[in-house]
C-alpha cells in the first residue's frame, strides 16, 4: 500500500502554476517578463480584494446602525425604505466567500512571485528593487530583507524586524476572522431566533451554510491533506507520453497489472 503524501490544495495549485511558467519560458518568455507579469496579477488581485471588501464594510455599518426588527430602514425626505436583513446577510455571505477566494489567490501569487524572484542568483541583485524600478513593489526599500553576502547582522535585529512585519500582517488579518463571527451571529439570529417569515428564515439559513462553507474551504485550501500517488495517472498521463505512441517498454506490464487489479 502506498504511503500518504501530505500536501495542501494551495500547494498543488501553486505547483501547477510554476509548471505552466516553465512551459512559457520554453516559448521564449524572459524572467523579467514573467516576474513583472506576476506583479501585474498581484496588483489586479489586490484591487479585487478592495472591491469585494467594500460591500462588507457597508454591510457592517448597516447591520450595526440601521437594523431593527429584522429590517434595515432608512428615511430620506419623509420616505422610508426598508430591506429585510435576511437578504442582506445572504449577499454578504457571497461577498465574504469571494473575498476569501481572492485572498487565497493573492497569497499564492505572492509565494510564486517570491520564488520566481529568488531564481536570479546575481550578487547583490534584488528582485524587489528591480520591481520597484519597473513601477511595482512600492515597499521594496522598506522591507527588512537585504540582498547582500558581505554583511551579517550580529544581534539578529533584521530577523526581529522581519518577524515584526509578519506579525503586523497577521494582526491586520484578525478583523477578517472577527467579521466571520459577526456575520454568522446575525445569520443564526435571523434563521433561528427571530425570523420574520419562513422565506427570510430559510434565506438566512442558506447564508449561514454558505458562510460556513466559505470559511471551511479557505482553511482546507491551506491545510495539508493526505493523498496517494496515482499510479494510473503517472503511467498513462506522464510516462507513456515520453515515448512515441505505444513505445514505452513497460506498457505490457502496466496493462497486465490493470487487468489483474480489475479481476480481483
Region 239-244: mean pLDDT is 71
pLDDT of residue 2 exceeding 60:
no
Report whether pLDDT(241) > 60. yes
Does the reported pTM lie above 0.95? Answer: no
Please check the confidence at residue 126 and state whether its pLDDT lies above 70.
yes
Convert 184-251 into a string of H (helix), E (strand) and C (coil): HHHHHHHHHHCCCCHHHHHHHHHHHHHHHHHHHHHHHHHCCEEECCCHHHHHHHHHHHHCCCCCCCCH
Of 105 and 245, the structure prediction assigns the larger pLDDT to: 105
Q: Report d(CA 210, CA 228) in Å as an integer.
A: 30
Per-residue model confidence (pLDDT) at position 1? 46
Share of the chain above pLDDT 70, in %: 94
CB 2 within 8 A of CB 229: yes
**pLDDT score for 82:** 84
Q: Is the dihedral of CA 55, 56, 57, 58 positive or negative?
A: positive
Mean local confidence (pLDDT), 148-172: 80
Grid cell for residue 87: 437578504
Look at residue 259 and tell me whether its pLDDT is greater than 80: no
pLDDT band at residue 90 using 50, 70 and 90 as cut-offs: very high
Nearest 10 degrees: Cα torsion 1, 216, 219, 90: 150
Average pLDDT over residues 75-84: 80
Q: Where are the beta strands (DSSP E) in 71-194?
A: 71-76, 79-84
Q: Rounded to the nearest 5 degrees, what angle is found at the Cα of 84, between the Cα atoms of 80 and 85?
A: 115
Higher pLDDT, 7 or 260: 7
Lowest mean pLDDT among 25-39, 67-81, 92-106, 215-229: 67-81
- The cell for 127 is 528582485
pLDDT confidence band for 221 (50 / 70 / 90): very high
> Average pLDDT in the 68-82 region?
80
Q: What is the mean pLDDT of the chain?
A: 87
- The mean per-residue pLDDT over the stretch 234-257 comes to 71
Query: Quick one: pLDDT at residue 71?
Result: 86
The per-residue b/e assignment along 204-216, b for 16 or more CB within 10 angstroms, e otherwise, is bbbbbebbeebbe
Predicted pLDDT at 166: 83
Q: Which residue has the higher pLDDT, 259 or 11?
A: 11
Q: Check whether 253 has a pLDDT greater than 80.
A: no
C-alpha cell at 73: 430602514
Amino acid at each position: 500500500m502506498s504511503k500518504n503524501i501530505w500536501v495542501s490544495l494551495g500547494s498543488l495549485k501553486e505547483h501547477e502554476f510554476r509548471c505552466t511558467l516553465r512551459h512559457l519560458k520554453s516559448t521564449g518568455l524572459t524572467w523579467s517578463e514573467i516576474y513583472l507579469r506576476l506583479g501585474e496579477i498581484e496588483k489586479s488581485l489586490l484591487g479585487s480584494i478592495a472591491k469585494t471588501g467594500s460591500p462588507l464594510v457597508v454591510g457592517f455599518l448597516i447591520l450595526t446602525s440601521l437594523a431593527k426588527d429584522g429590517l434595515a430602514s432608512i428615511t430620506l425626505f419623509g420616505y422610508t425604505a426598508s430591506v429585510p436583513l435576511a437578504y442582506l446577510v445572504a449577499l454578504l455571505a457571497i461577498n465574504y466567500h469571494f473575498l476569501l477566494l481572492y485572498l487565497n489567490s493573492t497569497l499564492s501569487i505572492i509565494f510564486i512571485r517570491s520564488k520566481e524572484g529568488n531564481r536570479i542568483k546575481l550578487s547583490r541583485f534584488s528582485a524587489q528593487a528591480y520591481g520597484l524600478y519597473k513601477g511595482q513593489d512600492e515597499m521594496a526599500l522598506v522591507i527588512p530583507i537585504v540582498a547582500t553576502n558581505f554583511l551579517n547582522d550580529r544581534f539578529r535585529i533584521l530577523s526581529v524586524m522581519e518577524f515584526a512585519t509578519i506579525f503586523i500582517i497577521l494582526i491586520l488579518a484578525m478583523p477578517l476572522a472577527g467579521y466571520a463571527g459577526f456575520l454568522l451571529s446575525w445569520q443564526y439570529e435571523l434563521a433561528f431566533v427571530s425570523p420574520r417569515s419562513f422565506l427570510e428564515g430559510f434565506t438566512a439559513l442558506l447564508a449561514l451554510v454558505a458562510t460556513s462553507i466559505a470559511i471551511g474551504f479557505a482553511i482546507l485550501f491551506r491545510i495539508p491533506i493526505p493523498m496517494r500517488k496515482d499510479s494510473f495517472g503517472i503511467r498513462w498521463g506522464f510516462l507513456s507520453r515520453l515515448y512515441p505512441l505505444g513505445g514505452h517498454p513497460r506498457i505490457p506490464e502496466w496493462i497486465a497489472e490493470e487487468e489483474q487489479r480489475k479481476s480481483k
